[in-house]
Amino acid sequence: MGFAKKVLEKFTKKKPVAIMTRVLLSNTLSDRRLDEIFANNCEQQLSGSELTFSTVANMMGDVVLKIQPSINAAYSGEDVSVSVNSVYNKLQGIETQVSRAIVRETAACKREIVSHMKGTAPPLLAGFRTKIVDGNHLRRTDSRIGELRKVNVAPLPGKSLVVLDPEYRLAVDVIPCECGHASERSLFPELLEAVEAGDAWIADRNFCTIALLIGIADRKAKFIIRQHGQMPYTLLGRCHRVGEIETGVVYEQKMHVVDEQGQKRAFRRITVHLFEPTRDGDVEMHIVTNLPKKFSAQNVAKTYRQRWKIETAFQEMAENLEGEIQTLGYPKAALFGFCMALVSFNVFSTIRAAVHAAHGEEAANELSVYYMSKEVSNVSDGLDVVVEKETWSQLYGQSTTRQIAKELQRIAKAMQLKRYKKNKWTPKSRKKSKKNKTNRGHDSTYKILMKSRNVA
């Protein structure tokens, strides 16, 4: 153990993100915790003695973090007595409630860790737990399944609703759906079950239905949701100009909607006349909310703009994690992979919270997930050689969330942040080439270079 600690300390100085990732995985995603989550949430699938759920989850985690290029490669690195077909069979049978439980329960642990570190972002709405929800459609997969080879289509393995807590920077819930053609609105009943008193939900216009708005309000929660053009409503009184924000002039008016029992419900309607049209060409935006008047219309409009945080999370996952594996065609397997990507995203978010606690919010916002994920994938093989898996479990598997928070802060304080700083994007102005790319011949690159250097 003493030798292992010395080796880890050397890695901590040079590759702190890789070490913090292993610390979090060893604690929040230990084999014991994973198998407990499976046992408590599965209904039909059995946990085999030769191939446990934790083993399959670890393989998927290696693929998601790009430590391994595929499930088959991850299988080759594991010491298991079953065939690779058994692994794939296990993956395609993982029930969606198990995938959801992994996201929810591990996010709860990371939330405690972030709280202990005091690494939260400023709250969007004082006194409320803000949650941003949006849908995610899994990309098409390869047609490797026998039934898919018979049809000339792009197979869609599923979709999900993802809930982001912007204050903790964590994906705290997900509602997976196996049908790639299902409407997001078919998942609203499950979404409503997740609404708690004191929540404040932010969502785009696809979520603007009377049933959802009233359902959130009846659960003593609040919402800020962009109005859908087809939702029936009645406006009351005059539309008042209340001020301006960065993107436009803000107006407010009362509105009524009618529930299924014929009862009228009153909400606030915030309208922003935009200075510049949206990418869809909209020149004004209507936002519906049931927040009290102490939250001004300008505050509501500004808060709605924070909805982009969940789109940024999706983009970071798509660019830096392998959460939508093209070779996994079975819906349950594909959704499990996406949920493991959410878990990995939460790992990096917790590291960002540690940097926030140690160096401030600006430093945390400047962290690049690309450089963090690259370090993890590059260093993992070396860590596995010098440090046994049992060592990680002994050091961090039984640690409390407070102890993990303290360890992460210790490592974060010594980080060389410039190694993980985002590269600022600037627009490139390139003139469009006027070359005729048809019917052109071939030439030697070598001769062209020599000619430009005046070499005979």
Q: Each residue of 214-226: pLDDT tens digit?
A: 999 999 999 999 9
CA–CA distance, 432 with 144 (Å, rounded to integer): 40
Instruction: Kindly report, residue by residue over 26-40, the tens digit of the pLDDT.
Output: 999 999 999 999 999
Give yes or no for residue 151 having a pLDDT over 60.
Answer: yes
- Distance, in Å, from the CA atom of 111 to the CA atom of 109, rounded to the nearest integer, reads 5
Strand 222-226 with 284-289, pairing? antiparallel
The residues, any chain, with a CB within 8 Å of residue 240's CB and separated by 6 or more, are 251, 252, 253
- Percent of the chain exceeding pLDDT 90 equals 70
What integer pLDDT is reported at residue 428 of this predicted model? 61
Amino acid at 422: K
Q: What is the mean pLDDT of residues 95-108?
A: 96
Task: Name the token pair of 293.
Answer: 């008047």
Query: DSSP secondary-structure letter at 227?
Result: P
CA distances (Å), 162 to each of 128, 287, 315, 341, in order? 19, 21, 13, 12
* AA identity, residue 102: I
Instruction: Residue 156: name the closest of 180, 177, 174, 134 by CA.
Output: 180
Q: Tell me the C-alpha distance between 372 and 353, whole Å.
A: 14
Mean pLDDT of 66-89: 89
Strand order in the sheet with 248-258: 170-177, 159-165, 129-137, 199-203, 222-226, 284-289, 264-274, 248-258, 234-245
Q: What is the mean pLDDT of residues 131-140?
A: 92
**pTM: predicted TM-score of the whole model, two decimal places:** 0.89
- Residues written for the chain: 456
Contact between residue 175 and residue 185 where contact means Cβ atoms under 8 Å apart: no
Provide the β-strand partners of residue 240. Answer: 252
Q: Where are the alpha helices (DSSP H) in 305-330?
A: 308-320
pLDDT in tens, 261-294: 888 999 999 999 999 998 888 899 999 999 999 9
- Beta strand pairing call for 234-245 and 248-258: antiparallel
CB atoms closer than 10 angstroms to residue 42 = 17
End-to-end CA distance of the chain: 66
Residue 93's nearest CA partner among 42, 37, 34, 160 is 42
Can you state the angle between helices 16-28 and 2-14, rounded to 10 degrees? 130
Q: What is the pLDDT of residues 318-350, one digit of tens each?
A: 999 998 888 888 889 999 999 999 999 999 999
User: How confident is the model at residue 154, as a pLDDT?
Assistant: 74
pLDDT above 80 (res 240): yes
CA distances to 9, 31, 63, 79, 391 from 51, rounded to whole Å, are: 33, 12, 18, 10, 22
| pLDDT category of residue 424 using cuts at 50, 70 and 90 | confident
Q: What are the tokens at 110?
A: 């990371």
Label residue 10 by pLDDT band (50, 70, 90): confident
Residue written as token pair 């970071």 = 316
Write down the pLDDT at residue 136. Answer: 92
Q: Is the pLDDT of residue 433 over 80?
A: no
Number of helices followed by number of strands (H, E) in the chain: 18, 9
Number of Cβ within 10 Å of residue 53's Cβ equals 23
